[in-house]
Structure 1
């Protein structure tokens, strides 16, 4: 979720500007490196300092890798960066963020005969395996090309109609997850809660959610062609199938709001 989150709220079309207080307010080595990169004028395309802070250390390191390399600076080990609080959607919108419990997708009854087994979900007729981020050599030809689009339908309804919003976002999420797996970023997906909150935040700010998601998808493909990504950023696993929902016959997604896991059918 976090990498996508950074791009969703960092796409201003203009470079972020570092002010004089940047270094004084930096709390970690990665935040200090961000300030150095901005001071050297190499931060074009980076999110603002506030949005940069909302991302996990591993994602911060990924965002800084290219600019730091061009300046001959070393990126600190993200694993040693102190933990920070989870991002608050209220910081980016004047409207209250929806309660996480209310934004959880309805869990599928079709998983009642399945069971979790480490990095697998075992069902009577299917086996699903946790999908990592995949190197480009393992991807289908052409998936990183510009004409491969996310293709979400634009929202045209009343945002206060919760039933319509959920129906729209459920359909959009069912497309978003397979497309992220397709480009080898299955371990960088947003939870449904984050997806829901991104929609509310962007649309409340007058930004077309589908257009912004498309921009983000295109940028992710560009970065994937030049930047290596870790297969996984943590070893945590879901502890119960009540956290899981099937996207389609081939994909199951589990999340505890903070963390998202995507499982793909092995024999598909």
Structure 2
């Protein structure tokens, strides 16, 4: 989700990194940066805000250079030399990003506190991996193999191209409009590179915006860097179709990106449905 250069950590800094790690993926992050292979990784704070499957994807390449396996999230074993295989699944016990006081549940029409689905979904019904609407059917999107993608989507010419936020960050309405528009671009772009099963919830998107902008980092530029890294890794690293079997409990958690894409989230997990 977030990219920034990391310098080699002195031993004391690495001890502090290990002490604050809450998962094997975070411990592997500390190990990699302490051994001088963290130049392509986010800052430690930013890394922790990523979904576990994205954390694993970010770690795959530097871990391979050191001969370290990417451990399953939630495990307690230290990383050890091994052949790097498929990306591990996320664990439901991994730390979720903490939503800011003015969190995204107030910023999108559908959310865990909604009492009714969007009007455009009012005549639809959720049936597990499908959303059935009059005249259309949407199916749960999963991560895709590269052979299933359109030509060129993993090349440099395919960019997010988000505009930078130019308003006042204390203007809640301006931030809501900006993030809603940006998210409506982000989701189709993740689908385009075959990562529909590995997307940020709007809550995480909203939190990342405030975290980065508070730190003087341009949100749009940082997301562009992340998208570039995901494309590069997607060229060579395998992804599983899905990393958990959980499904949204209610259509109240869902909102339309456009007529062909519906996103549902319970803050912790995100699901994307697309027309077939």
TM-score (ref. length: structure 2): 0.81
Deviation string, structure 1 residues 108-139 (Cα, Å, up to 9, x no partner): 20111111111000111000000011111100
Structure with more helix by fraction: 1
- Matched residue SS, 2:61: helix
Number of matched pairs: 252
- Alpha-carbon shift at residue 79 of structure 1 (Å): 6.3
Distance 1:216 1:105, change over 3 A: farther
In structure 2, which of residues 100, 107, 111 is the aligned counterpart of residue 103 of structure 1?
A: 107
- Matched residue SS, 1:247: strand
- Alpha-carbon shift at residue 181 of structure 1 (Å): 0.5
Question: What does residue 138 of structure 2 align with?
Answer: 128
- Alpha-carbon shift at residue 28 of structure 1 (Å): 4.4
In structure 1, which of residues 232, 242, 256 is the aligned counterpart of residue 252 of structure 2?
A: 242
Distance 1:63 1:18, change over 3 A: farther
Q: How does 1:34-113 map to 2 (within 5 A)?
A: 34-78=29-73, 80=75, 83-88=93-98, 97-106=101-110, 107-113=117-123
- Matched residue SS, 1:190: coil
Cα RMSD of the aligned pairs, angstroms, is 2.4
Distance 1:213 1:49, change over 3 A: closer
Question: What does residue 82 of structure 2 align with?
Answer: none
- Matched residue SS, 2:274: strand
Separation in structure 2 between the aligned mates of residue 31 and residue 175 of structure 1, nearest angstrom: 29
- Alpha-carbon shift at residue 144 of structure 1 (Å): 0.9
Separation in structure 2 between the aligned mates of residue 210 and residue 31 of structure 1, nearest angstrom: 25
Separation in structure 2 between the aligned mates of residue 237 and residue 18 of structure 1, nearest angstrom: 43
Separation in structure 1 between the aligned mates of residue 179 and residue 268 of structure 2, nearest angstrom: 18
Separation in structure 2 between the aligned mates of residue 69 and residue 240 of structure 1, nearest angstrom: 40
- Alpha-carbon shift at residue 173 of structure 1 (Å): 1.4
Separation in structure 1 between the aligned mates of residue 29 and residue 10 of structure 2, nearest angstrom: 9
Distance 1:195 1:19, change over 3 A: same
Farther-moved stretch of structure 1 (15-24 vs 147-156): 15-24
What are the ranges of 5 or more consecutive residues in structure 1 without an aligned counterpart?
90-95
Separation in structure 2 between the aligned mates of residue 48 and residue 103 of structure 1, nearest angstrom: 27
The answer to whether the 8 A contact 1:15-1:45 is kept is: no
Question: What does residue 19 of structure 1 align with?
Answer: 11
Question: What does residue 152 of structure 2 align with?
Answer: 142
- Alpha-carbon shift at residue 53 of structure 1 (Å): 4.0
Separation in structure 1 between the aligned mates of residue 48 and residue 220 of structure 2, nearest angstrom: 25
TM-score (ref. length: structure 1): 0.83
